[in-house]
A = this chain, B = another copy of it.
Amino acid sequence: MPPTVPVPPAPEADGHGPHGYSLPLSPSGRAAMLTPPPWHFSGEITMVDYRVDPDAAARFLPPGLTLGPDPGAAAAVFATWQWCSDSGAELTDPSRSQFSEFLILLGCAYRDEAMARCPYAWVDQAVPLVRGWVQGMPKQYGAVHQTRHGLPGRAGSRRQENGLFAGALSVHGRRVVEASVTLTAPAPNPPRLHTVPLVHSLVTPPWTTPDPRPAPLSASHVTDVEFADIWTGTAQLRFLDTPDDDFATLAPVEVGAGHVFSYAETLVSGRELPTGEG
């Protein structure tokens, strides 16, 4: 059977055994589950701003981060992604290049720089899940669904007045979050929490000798950011079954505006953020 995905020339063997950007290691390095960054992402987003109890948010921030200028700012984000490596090879097989994601964002700051902390995230494919852990992004596995954008006809939703966009997250067969946005008008600017770097903790679960040092902080470094066709509207957001007691502390105390837009970025690397404890 002919190969579907073009294969780049093999890197030279270095005489030191199997290698690769990630597991599995192999003689040519091509067996790695993860391709090395940069990774390119293109997606459709439905996002709801909301307010969380600032004390609850603070309990999710590691040393080195503060709540910043707007304590309690939060967002629930549904994203439907297509992605590829620098070679673009994944785009020839759409069973490999697509996933859906739900995440919670909390406004925060590192020193004077506004950032967002992602305390919870769920995706429905294994490659982006593991790629999240490489970055310190706490992706778990869930069933994420979102209205498709831009379809014609009576079953379609378009970015126009009264356009309805809904999202739902289920985890282990339980409905955890539901949201919807009813559009009112185009928006000149993207929602703020989607424009700041994400700051993650590079956690390595102990397996042999535990490492007593705290997990380093890392900010996402992205380029080629593109927002397109941004609309805003009224929103609903409900937390239903809770996957753990801590998650419930981040439930909305107030629901703000909803946003619907297209988005692209290239994720290049992590930038380590020194802390007093590091």
A241 to B95, CA, bound (A): 16
Q: Is the CB of B244 within 8 A of A155?
A: no
Task: Indicate whether A264 reaches chain B with its CB closer than 8 angstroms.
Answer: yes
A140 to B125, CA, bound (A): 11
Shortest distance in angstroms between A46's beta carbon and chain B's nearest beta carbon? Answer: 10
Give residues of chain A (75-122) contacting chain B, Cβ–Cβ below 8 Å: 80-84, 88, 91-98, 119-121
| Interface segment, one of A29-37, A191-199, A251-259 | A29-37
Of the candidates B23, B173, B228, the one whose C-beta lies within 8 Å of that of A143 is: B173
Q: Is the CB of A180 within 8 A of B92?
A: yes
Task: Indicate whether A54 reaches chain B with its CB closer than 8 angstroms.
Answer: no
Quickly give the copy total for this chain. 4
Residues of B with C-beta under 8 A to A139: 23
Q: Is the CB of B246 within 8 A of A26?
A: yes
Residues of B with C-beta under 8 A to A135: 207
Q: Is the CB of B42 within 8 A of A207?
A: no
Q: Is the CB of B151 within 8 A of A63?
A: no
Q: Is the CB of A172 within 8 A of B96?
A: yes
Task: Indicate whether A240 reaches chain B with its CB closer than 8 angstroms.
Answer: yes
Task: Indicate whether A186 reaches chain B with its CB closer than 8 angstroms.
Answer: no
Give residues of chain A (45-69) contacting chain B, Cβ–Cβ below 8 Å: 59-63
A96 to B147, CA, bound (A): 10
Residues of B with C-beta under 8 A to A28: 244-246
Residues of B with C-beta under 8 A to A265: 153
Q: Is the CB of A172 within 8 A of B95?
A: yes
Count chain A residues whose beta carbon lies closer than 8 angstroms to a beta carbon of B: 119
Shortest distance in angstroms between A235's beta carbon and chain B's nearest beta carbon? Answer: 14
Task: Indicate whether A216 reaches chain B with its CB closer than 8 angstroms.
Answer: yes
Of the candidates B23, B61, B157, the one whose C-beta lies within 8 Å of that of A91 is: B157
Shortest distance in angstroms between A236's beta carbon and chain B's nearest beta carbon? Answer: 10
Residues of B with C-beta under 8 A to A96: 172
Of the candidates B18, B94, B155, B173, the one whose C-beta lies within 8 Å of that of A166 is: B94
Q: Can you name 13 extra interface pairs (CB under 8 A) apart from A18-B62, A26-B60, A130-B130?
A: A22-B203, A23-B133, A23-B203, A25-B62, A31-B119, A33-B140, A42-B153, A83-B155, A91-B157, A92-B180, A95-B143, A129-B130, A208-B270
